[in-house]
Amino acid sequence: MIVKERSIKEAGGKLVSIRVVVNKDGVIREFSITGDFFAFPPEVIDELCSSVVGLNVLKEDVVRVIEETLTRVVLVGVSKESLLELINSVINEIRESCVRS
């Protein structure tokens, strides 16, 4: 298993932490977004997290799936761009780890 966690907090914004757990083949086992931000409606974030579990980071465009789900939510405390950038960097790091191992 590969576990990656990373957080951001923009000036005047809220804390956002991403945690991704992937098996050795690149399949996402866990995906969570936590922090003190706001999302309207909040359940879209839960939907987003569960929708990527089972996807393979080596074969599928996970960030694209997330980007599409994010069109249905308004975030307060973090911009969608920053959140996607954070997720993208975590996924890229995981891909590199998968390829190396």
Question: Residue written as tokens 């069109």?
Answer: 71
| Closest listed residue to residue 35, CA positions, set 3, 82, 71 | 82
The CA distance from 4 to 80, in Å, is 20
Q: Does 80 bind other proteins (CB under 8 A)?
A: no
Residue choice 56, 58, 73, 77 for contact with other proteins (CB under 8 A): 77
Phi, psi (degrees; rounded to nearest 5) at 32: -135, 145
Q: Does 14 bind other proteins (CB under 8 A)?
A: yes
Whichever of 32 and 88 has its CB closer to other proteins, that residue is 32
Q: Does 79 bind other proteins (CB under 8 A)?
A: no
**Binding residues vs other proteins (CB under 8 A):** 7-9, 11-15, 17, 32-42, 45, 74, 76-77
